[in-house]
Amino acid sequence: MTFQTLDDLDDGQRVLVRLDLNSPVEDGTVQDNRRFDRHAETISELIDRGFEVAVLAHQGRPGRDDFVSLEQHADILADHIDHDVDFVDETYGPQAIHDIADLDGGDVLVLENTRMCDDELPEEDPEIKSQTEFVQTLAGEFDAYINDAYSAAHRSHASLVGFPLVMDAYAGRVMETEYEANTAIAEKEFDGQVTMVVGGTKATDVIDVMTHLDEKVDDFLLGGIAGELFLRAAGYPVGYDIDDANLYDEQWEQNSEKIESMLEDHRDQITLAVDLAYEDDDGDRAEQAVDDIEEKSVSYLDVGSETVMEYSPIIRDSEAVFVKGALGMFEDERFSVGTAGVLEAIADTDCFSVVGGGDTSRAIEMYGMEEDEFGHVSIAGGAYIRALTGAELVGVEVLQR
Ligand SMILES: Nc1ncnc2c1ncn2[C@@H]1O[C@H](COP(=O)(O)OP(=O)(O)OP(=O)(O)O)[C@@H](O)[C@H]1O
Ligand SMILES: O=C(O)[C@H](O)COP(=O)(O)O
């Protein structure tokens, strides 16, 4: 490993720490999850060593329901570290700079959601990001920058790639351990069958990665939004938006060619759902065989039970199983059958397994399984599957310069 870590940093300095606290948000309420647990260890170490700590993090994306302030995150973090955490509703404005100047050793201040600043998004070269007002303003206030956000390191956003080009930069403890684990996993060779369960809402991320893993993975088992888009490409009347949630059409536009060519070239490696679940008029779970769908008139929120029965033996026969993204909206128990069923099948076998994703890894505890029933549980989703392809993560790369 070629980046500097907290072991290389002298105690008691003023540090800007990038965490990934991106969390599920239900009706405006931020849900606690293992990202807080993991980052709490880094922050507690910094407090014990007398650092003055300001935290940068993002939540959601503009235009989405989960695009909210980090005020609640500061409270959740405080509970995890059992220590006061202050919050300021600016990222680098005058009040933020004032509060940063007021920090004493052992203080922790969470700055507002980085994605509320115009400079943060979109993705641009680190050189461009390093020259933004956002980076230039904050860099002058700190002795060092620490990136602990391995799970966001695949994004070339200002708070992730700009600072290491203009100031001393270090990897935090989560960055260090996730990098080591995920790099080691990417280098593993398996003699037997390798299976990847692909779901979730970020279809664009997973489809891109699938096209790079077709030699490494023997079987892709599909669900979630990506699963429905593949069904659409296979000729079923699903995989488009019927409300204003905007989960399907935009991602279809971006990926339809890739999906069609994956289906054409690798059809025997791709297993699609044979049935899907939805909420019926009584509010109950109902299932429908994909062959019986004439027109999409309901939102499909899970794969069906038949699909789980088809996926489970494939998992049992695998030497390694990688999971990225949930097969359904498992946070609602009615639509947890696919995700919990697949995770239970993995837990029941002795295959090597990795479950990744900030949201998806939550399903393990929610449905009564233990982390040690899996080979590795990563709080990273998009970053971990990108690492599997052997590709460098831009946020890690800039730390190694
Ligand atoms: N059919 C579906 N409709 C709506 N939401 C779905 C559906 N299937 C899965 N999901 C949602 O997908 C989410 C998890 O996938 P997501 O793409 O957000 O990845 P993740 O596991 O959190 O990884 P990352 O760390 O990259 O965000 C879950 O919160 C689940 O509710
Ligand atoms: O949750 C994640 O995977 C990371 O925080 C990156 O978030 P993004 O997919 O919204 O860029």
Residue 79 has pLDDT above 80, yes or no: yes
180 alpha carbon – ligand 1 mean position (Å): 25
Residue 329 CB–ligand 1 contact under 6 Å: yes
Domain segments of the chain as ranges: 6-179+395-400, 188-369
22 alpha carbon – ligand 2 mean position (Å): 7
Q: How far is CA 356 from the centre of its chain?
A: 7
Residue 103 has pLDDT above 90, yes or no: yes
- Residue from 86, 67, 69, 57 nearest 158 by CA: 57
CA dist 102 → 74, 141, 152 (Å): 18, 11, 29
Residue 1 is predicted with a pLDDT of 62
pLDDT in tens, 294-335: 999 999 999 999 999 999 999 999 999 999 999 999 999 999
Of 3.40.50.1980, 3.40.50.1010, 3.40.50.1260, 1.10.1040.10, which CATH number belongs to 6-179+395-400?
3.40.50.1260
Residue 239 CB–ligand 1 contact under 6 Å: no
Q: Name the region of 106 (left: φ>0; alpha: ψ -120 to 50; beta: rest).
A: left
Rounded-to-integer distance, Cα 230 and Cα 222, Å: 8
pLDDT in tens, 178-217: 999 999 999 999 999 999 999 999 999 999 899 999 999 9
Q: What percent of the chain has pLDDT over 90?
A: 95
pLDDT in tens, 233-267: 999 999 999 988 889 999 999 999 999 999 999 99
Residue 22 CB–ligand 2 contact under 6 Å: yes
- Of the listed ligands, the closest to the CA of 206 is 1
Give kind and range of the element (H or E) at residue 258: helix 249-266
pLDDT in tens, 105-161: 999 999 999 999 999 999 999 999 999 999 999 999 999 999 999 999 999 999 999
Averaged pLDDT for residues 271-287: 98
Report the binding-site residues for substrate.
20-22, 35, 58-61, 115, 155
Rounded to a whole number, what is the distance in angstroms from the first to the last CA of the chain?
A: 12
Q: What angle do CA 291, 296, 301 make, to 5 degrees?
A: 90
152 alpha carbon – ligand 2 mean position (Å): 6
Residue with tokens 């004439």: 294
- Residue from 174, 147, 144 nearest 160 by CA: 147
Answer yes or no: same fold for 6-179+395-400 and 188-369: yes
Residue 376 dihedral angles phi and psi, to the nearest 5°:
-155, 135
Closest residue by Cα to atom 5, ligand 1, is 329
One-letter amino acid identity for 123? E
Domain range 188-369, CATH class: alpha beta
Contacts of 4 (CB under 8 A, 6+ apart): 168, 169, 170, 171, 399
Higher local confidence (pLDDT), 270 or 365: 270
β-strands 320-324, 29-30 pairing:
unpaired
Do residues 262 and 210 make contact, with C-beta atoms less than 8 angstroms apart? yes
| Residues 165, 169, 170, 172, Cα dihedral to 10° | -90
Residue 66 has pLDDT above 90, yes or no: yes
pLDDT in tens, 346-359: 999 999 999 998 88
Mean pLDDT of all residues belonging to the chain: 96
Q: From the alpha carbon of 381, which atom of ligand 2 is closest?
A: 3
Rounded-to-integer distance, Cα 355 and Cα 347, Å: 11
Residue 301 CB–ligand 1 contact under 6 Å: yes
Q: What percent of the chain has pLDDT over 70?
A: 100
Closest residue by Cα to atom 30, ligand 1, is 329
